[in-house]
Structure 1
Amino acid sequence: MSALSHSHLNSSTFVLTGVPGLEDYSLWLSIPFSSIYAMVFLGNFMILHVIRTEPSLHQPMFYFLAMLASTDLCIGLSTVHTVLGVLYGFMQEISLDFCIAQSYFIHGLSFMESSVLLAMAFDRYITICNPLRYSSIIINDKIMKIGVAISCRSSLLIPSVIIRLKFLKYYLLRLACSDILFNSICALILVIMNLLLDAMLIIISYIMILHTVLAIESQEERMKSLQTCVSHICAVLVFYIPIIGLTMVHRFGKHLSPLVHVLMGNIYILFPPLMNPIIYMQRLFSLKGT
């Protein structure tokens, strides 16, 4: 996201200053950012199109991939207007309500992506550890229920956003009189309930998968089983590594240049939607028509 600074204490608006230290190069920066967004939209639309039009891909594993691609598209759509608007110079300020709404969608969609990755890990676990029951466990009705559950789970962000909105408005107007401890605890609980819990469950699922794979006598079968997990493991790393990096920068990098914070924020938002189509495209086309 572009750097923000509040313009007037009596106004609930922010001035969009662009990338710190590189404000004079905004037009040049718009070229790589425009290219990244174009690749995000093209790649994820292509995944959805291939899954939709290829009958051989109408199976649970690729329905989950379609959920992931849809989430990545929404993440791109939630930020493209602001980022490119600042870089091209036609968006110079943003209202507080719009800023909070954009923050809600970014974090809500991140929680949704984490949930989809967890569902995909569960799919891989059933495929490898309980293949004979896969067709009876992972059925279309259950996939729909999982999708609804993921959406409902992500909406747990709403109470925290409302609290943050109330406090932030009061802070900007110098009317804040509430303790931010409750706000911070709510945010921490939401992170633990979503991202940390998902990461732990994904790790547990892969420990059980690895235990099952190592028990397979045939080395060829072991490699074949592991290869079905490579794409998902890459997607998990692509999602969680930027989150860990951004968290470390915010927690321990207060002395760092604002440019580092902006760069990490953009990596957190754009890297997974950019890389996921690259990770999965080869697998999609290799399975297409088989």
Structure 2
Amino acid sequence: MSNSNTSTDFTNPSTFILLGIPGLEAAHVWISIPFCAMYAIAILGNFTILFVVKRERSLRAPMYYFICMLAVTDLVLSTSMLPKMLSIFWFNSREIDFSACLTQMYFIHSFSVMESGILVAMGFDRYVAICDPLRHSTLLANPMVAKIGLAVVLRGGMLILPYLILMRQWQYCETNIIPNTYCAHIAVVKLACADTRISSYYGLFVLFFVKGLDMVFVALSYTQILRAIF
């Protein structure tokens, strides 16, 4: 398959080409420095959090369990994006297999939804701890924390699954070039020749009615906390 634009339609192209940051190809090496530093800090910081919580028995509490979930989510998100990004910047390794592209997109978007759900859980935990402390140990016992964590994971995984189902059925035409450093949902949608309205509407639903509502719930939780404090 040619890396340039063609007029031939095809289903499930063998590879996509990630351009990196269009227009700044000459500066890719310099741009990679802060991204590499952020990735190293993310790896070191999140593993430190997990290690400290595991070692310190005094930290076996819902708040720290949610922090650990957030750390794992951050590790997966950064590892889904940055290694391939750095390989583009350093080695000009721009090709990505079609299945690998969809897998990367799935992990990025599903764990982004999971991260949003964990923030809601953390807001609820702090709300109960400050506004109704006598019931905190009852409402957020370890089994309940585990159920919340499982619900967050299942929600993130199931909500993004339709992306993959739809994208594997489409035909792609004209180009296999993605002007980005990773396989984002909207970037792949733009390459399809099929009717992508369902996927676009569903993407908007996930953005506004899932992530958007999550942020509303987080804001409400901390608003109630501030009211209780003042």
Shift of 1:180: 2.2
Shift of 1:166: 2.8
User: Corresponding residue for 1:95?
Assistant: 97
SS of the residue corresponding to residue 200 of structure 1 reads helix
Q: Would you say 1:83 and 2:85 are equivalent positions? A: yes
User: Corresponding residue for 2:140?
Assistant: 138
Shift of 1:176: 6.1
Check whether the contact 2:17–2:95 (CA below 8 A) recurs between aligned residues.
yes
Letter in 1 for 2:85: V
Q: What CA RMSD, in Å, does the superposition of the two structures yield over aligned residues? A: 2.3
Query: What is the number of equivalent residue pairs in this alignment?
Result: 208
Structure 1's unaligned 5+ residue stretches are: 1-5, 215-290
Summarize the Cα distance change of 1:12–1:139 in structure 2 as closer, same or farther, 3 Å threshold: same
CA offset digits 1:164-222 (Å, max 9, x no partner)? 3433xx132699664322221111222233201101111222222223223xxxxxxxx
**Alignment equivalent of 1:46, drawn from 45, 48, 56:** 48
Summarize the Cα distance change of 1:139–1:172 in structure 2 as closer, same or farther, 3 Å threshold: same
Q: Which has the higher contact order (CA 8 A, sep 6+)?
A: 2
What TM-score do you get using the length of structure 2 for normalisation?
A: 0.82
Provide the rounded CA distance (Å) in 1 between the counterparts of 2:20 and 2:98: 17
Please list, as runs of the form range in 1=range in 2, the aligned pairs for 1:1-290 lying within 5 A after superposition. Answer: 7=4, 9=6, 11-89=13-91, 91-155=93-157, 156-167=159-170, 170-172=171-173, 178-214=194-230
User: Corresponding residue for 1:224?
Assistant: none
SS of the residue corresponding to residue 172 of structure 2 reads helix
Check whether the contact 2:172–2:194 (CA below 8 A) recurs between aligned residues.
no
Shift of 1:30: 2.7
Q: What is the percent sequence identity of the aligned residues?
A: 42
Summarize the Cα distance change of 1:147–1:171 in structure 2 as closer, same or farther, 3 Å threshold: same
SS of the residue corresponding to residue 15 of structure 1 reads strand
Letter in 1 for 2:172: Y
Provide the rounded CA distance (Å) in 1 between the counterparts of 2:110 and 2:87: 22
Provide the rounded CA distance (Å) in 2 between the counterparts of 1:126 and 1:98: 42
Farther-moved stretch of structure 1 (67-76 vs 170-179): 170-179
SS of the residue corresponding to residue 98 of structure 1 reads helix
Check whether the contact 1:111–1:154 (CA below 8 A) recurs between aligned residues.
yes
Provide the rounded CA distance (Å) in 1 between the counterparts of 2:71 and 2:88: 26
Shift of 1:84: 1.1
Provide the rounded CA distance (Å) in 2 between the counterparts of 1:94 and 1:21: 20
Shift of 1:147: 0.7
Which structure shows the bigger proportion of residues in helix conformation?
A: 1
Check whether the contact 2:173–2:193 (CA below 8 A) recurs between aligned residues.
no
Provide the rounded CA distance (Å) in 1 between the counterparts of 2:132 and 2:104: 41
